[in-house]
Homo-oligomer: A and B are copies of this chain.
Amino acid sequence: MIGLNKKTEKLKYSLIRVLKEEATKYSDVINLTIGEPDIPTPKNLVEEAMEYGKNNQLNYAQAGGSEKIRTLVAEYYNKKYKSTYNAENVVMNVGASEALSSCFKTIINPGDEVVITSPFYPAYPPMIELCYGIPVILNIHETKFKITRKTLEKYITPKTKAILLNNPCNPTGNVMTLEEMEVVADFISERDIFLIADEVYSSLVFYEFYSFASFEKIKDKLIIINGFSKSYSMTGWRIGYTLCPERYRKNFLNATFYTLSCPMSLSLKGAEIALEKFSDFNTADIYKERAEYMASALEKIGFKVLKPKGAFYIFADYTDLSKLDSFKFTMDILEKVKVAVVPGISFGTEGYIRIALTVDMEKLKEAVKRLEKYFKAI
């Protein structure tokens, strides 16, 4: 047997996908695993894109997207988040996932460290490791999910290439306060390191939200990752983007070009239509209602729940209810009451489960009933 790349050999398949696929083995399961919106893409957006696809040969797109879509993205950010981007700051990618993996490819040299906060999106560490970078885990679970200057200072070394923050946060549903962001921006502005802001849930916020894009002082060190999967319920379209300092544009462009040439033409068209005609599409209120209901219902059961402020997840501490580790706990719930959720260990934090609020209220209520039944039985 021929040896493969050592990093690839160590990779494990996504636990979220494992649970999602495990759930399909049960009938009548309530699947709260994968972070996929249940609210459909706007119907007229889809129809217009599909009509375009019928009437136009789908040729290779410009690598990184046309000037038109890049201008639309820049304007969207400027209008919504008070930034000063133009088309030259934008590179279109195959979803925020590829935006992120290509970002790491662009900036990481072997041995470089990327600081990520725990709990983290499970793909962050393997994506960094595949580029021979080292994920440095900054545990914010211990500081009540707050980032402070002190904790940042503790984790920064001469090898630090970037700090990666996911705001709003998957899995916690937390949103950073302006004060917290000021601390981070000041910290970055004093150093030669990048801030990678994964803002893919930026349009799903229940109260205030600020983008790092509005902090002028870190403009030459800020890389923003975003996309259409969550904001427009366009997961299967695989269309996302990178906002980067203009001086690095050609590097980001070449990294994605030599990974996959260019995004899918119809998805680029869909993104154009979304920004031109559906700027008022917003599903945040729907998720807010679900999040408030779920947080309160879970607390009644005995979970400890961080107040959700955005995205569509509840990250719930079950340590007062069960002594099982999070993988065994989620498998036990799935087996006994057919509710599928994701173990905290996927996100680097034991004693928690992540619940995706991507089913309607009726199903959420049924899930709560089943969880109540589960805890009555044990």
Contact = CB atoms under 8 A, between A and B. Distances in A.
Contacts of A234: 58
A214 interface: no
Contacts of A264: 94, 236-238, 264, 266-267
A262 B12 CA distance: 16
A107 interface: yes
Contact of A260 (B94, B132, B251): B94
A207 interface: no
Contact of A254 (B11, B95, B237): B11
A46 to B, nearest CB: 6
Contacts of A263: 238
B130 A105 contact: yes
B265 A59 contact: no
Q: Pick from A47, A106, A253 the residue with the most CB of B within 10 Å.
A: A106
Given A50-B50, A94-B94, A59 B236 contact: yes
Interface string A95-111: 10110010001111110
B127 A258 contact: yes
A15 B130 CA distance: 28
B260 A238 contact: yes
Contact of A5 (B107, B123, B235, B266): B107
- Residue in A12, A34, A94, A260 with the greatest tally of chain B CB atoms within 10 Å: A260
Nearest to A6: B109
Contacts of A126: 254, 258
Contacts of A1: 220, 247
A3 interface: yes
Interface in A46-65: 46-47, 49-51, 53-54, 57-61, 63
A159 interface: no
Nearest to A12: B254
Interface in A154-192: 161, 192
Given A46-B53, A193-B2, A235-B60, A260 B98 contact: yes
Interface residues of A, number: 77
Given A1-B247, A60-B36, A13 B235 contact: no
A40 B57 contact: yes
A61 B17 CA distance: 11
A98 B259 contact: yes
A237 B13 CA distance: 26
Give the top 7 A-B pairs by smallest Cβ distance, nearest first.
Answer: A58-B236, A236-B265, A11-B254, A98-B260, A50-B50, A97-B261, A238-B264
Given A5-B251, A41-B58, A94-B98, 5 more contacts: A4-B107, A5-B131, A97-B259, A98-B260, A260-B260
12 contacts: A1-B220, A1-B247, A5-B109, A9-B251, A13-B250, A36-B59, A50-B54, A236-B265, A237-B266, A238-B261, A238-B264, A260-B260
